[in-house]
Structure 1
Amino acid sequence: MNPALDIATSAEAVIPTEKMRCGPPRYDPGGGGINVARVVKILGGEAFAVFPAGGPAGLALEGLLERDGVPHQRIPIKGVTRESFTVDERRSGQQYRFVLPGPSLSGDEQRACLESLVEHVANARFIVASGSLPPEVKPDFFRGVADLAKRSGARFVLDTSGEALRQTRQGVYLLKPSLRELRECVGRELRSEAEQVEAAQELIADGRSEVIVISLGAQGALLVTAQGFQRLAPIDVPIRSAVGAGDSMVAAITLGLVRGLDLEHAVRFGMAAGAATLMTPGTELCRRDDVEKLYSNQFIRKAI
């Protein structure tokens, strides 16, 4: 619901008030759900992206999706699609990410997004909503998507934050919060693993999701269901950029489930995609060979 034209570049140093000469820019279609569709395609699956976009940035975003061969439906809006700007500082290796809020969407534009979704879910196994909501969109918007998924027989995967996450009530099959997002959702610190699992199982008991995958960054992930939980070890890779890593994880988890993987192996596949995206520069997403290698390596280590 809040796509972006992603722009990535580099500079020797990021210094206040100074004019910084940057390297060649890279342009990518961005935003949570769009990144999910891109990664599904990279990994050999099929996805269809539905999104609102307007203005020059919105047209550029659509052109980049066409370049990448991602099937999609753009919902025209009066507002101008946001741009997100990422700068890699060569001197320190640090990355600076500037994320704009996005355009306001009218009630008619929001309804048009849901109506377009209805037109494209007939054969869908999963509906994935990933990312933030733009201004003027009520935080309970994803309830409508959950209802639509239920009517269509598709499973609903949700990756969002803030009030939109707190407003989740029912109809979600898999929820993927980060630890910070889960803390904000339940209003507690969740310092221990037991507290993290307890918070996730509270949401499951309330009917807000059947499965919760908590991404823990360098600590790996927690897979939680009503029956129990499993901690999955992190995948150690050299980090070049964190842009799109969470979206890549969601994409590969969903694709893994479509391909018949059980929950553990689907989440491991998702972690491999997230780690592979960390290895790529700027706004580039994962590479299929890297994902498959990192996924296989998890089981080699287990066997050893």
Structure 2
Amino acid sequence: MAKIVTLTMNPALDIATSIERIVPDRKLRCDTPRYDPGGGGINVARAVHALGVESLAVFPAGGAAGELISHLLRQEGVGYNAVPISGFTRESLNVAERESGQQYRFILPGPEIDGRDQQRCLDALAGAAVDADYVVASGSLPRGIPEDFYARVGEITGRLGKHLILDTSGPALRHAGAGVYLLKPSLGELEGLVGHPIRDEREEEDAARTLIEQGRCEIAVVSLGARGALLATRQSIERLPALQVASKTAVGAGDSMLAGILVGLIRGLSLSEATRFGIAAGAAALLAAGTQLCRLDDVERLYQESVNAV
């Protein structure tokens, strides 16, 4: 029985490689690539599994990239339900330039998913979520899916009495409706939800409270990058500092953070301490190369450091 079930409507086969220097109009010979299953919910499921909790990823899959994502998840031991579709699952490319230390990320669009395949994904999610503790809907929406799709997910989790965790952006976030237990926006996404620029910490806190007062969520965890995170509930506002690490890449940090929060809650930590554990997981992902996610030993070490610093 998976404790955490995730939904990823726009999965990707993540390809990571490196090269000495990127120059235009020339054939660039890259190093041996690394392939990883990708997309918001899939990354969360992988990170949850890496942190020792059973997870199951639900996602549409089509073509060779979709098959390879399933194969890679099997290799990692991550549970999944791949819903076959007629389109081709997208790929994304992460190229590290060794000379400058810069990374270049090329994200291709996802396939168009028709109404029938959308419903099959929702049915698969409903079946998987029956015995889950938390349901995570994460990532962008591909072509063909309406902007209020996550509101439909909220209706399903509401009927099942499950906590819905949402991490998305743009119109999909604005039209997600009510029924969300925990929302994890970035500062830019928070500005989009409240409809105005946020200029200081007081306005950050006011905006987070607004999300809860509007019924968008019960809990808001606002990612603040190098400033850590803002945790808001109806009862309280708390700021939790970031952990300083030597970053190799930012890929998967947000997904690892969300996974860490949920694993912390399942472990019985308070919401505040679970968020601190999530911050440690996000920092651990920064230590990984390419498209790798957090590792349990790094997360435990960083979390203990944060506890000792309090």
| Residue aligning to 1:282 | 290
Q: How do residues 1-304 of structure 1 correspond to structure 2 at under 5 angstroms?
A: 1-302=9-310
- Partner of 1:48, secondary structure, is strand
1:168 CA drift (Å): 2.1
1:268 CA drift (Å): 0.5
> Which AA in structure 2 matches 1:148?
I
1:186 CA drift (Å): 2.1
**Does the aligned pair in 1 maintain the 2:43–2:256 contact within 8 Å?**
yes
- Partner of 1:119, secondary structure, is helix
Rounded to whole Å, the distance in 2 between the matches of 1:232 and 1:107 is: 41
Rounded to whole Å, the distance in 2 between the matches of 1:149 and 1:252 is: 21
- Deviation string, structure 1 residues 41-86 (Cα, Å, up to 9, x no partner): 1000011111001011111111111111111100001110000100
- Partner of 1:80, secondary structure, is coil
1:117 CA drift (Å): 1.0
1:133 CA drift (Å): 0.7
Rounded to whole Å, the distance in 2 between the matches of 1:169 and 1:276 is: 32
Task: Tell me the TM-score normalized by structure 1.
Answer: 0.98
Range with bigger deviation, 201-210 or 177-186? 177-186
**Does the aligned pair in 1 maintain the 2:149–2:176 contact within 8 Å?**
no
Rounded to whole Å, the distance in 2 between the matches of 1:258 and 1:172 is: 18
- Deviation string, structure 1 residues 197-217 (Cα, Å, up to 9, x no partner): 111111110111000000011
What is the RMSD computed on CA atoms of the aligned residues? 0.9
Range with bigger deviation, 94-103 or 81-90? 94-103
Task: Tell me the TM-score normalized by structure 2.
Answer: 0.96
Number of corresponding residues: 302
Off by >6 Å, runs of 4+ in structure 1: none
> Which AA in structure 2 matches 1:51?
F
- Partner of 2:92, secondary structure, is strand
1:185 CA drift (Å): 2.2
> Which AA in structure 2 matches 1:17?
D
> Which AA in structure 2 matches 1:24?
T
Structure 2: give runs of 5+ residues left out of the alignment: 1-8
1:89 CA drift (Å): 0.6
Identical-pair percentage = 55
Structure 1: give runs of 5+ residues left out of the alignment: none
| Residue aligning to 2:3 | none
Rounded to whole Å, the distance in 1 between the matches of 2:307 and 2:51 is: 19
1:242 CA drift (Å): 0.9
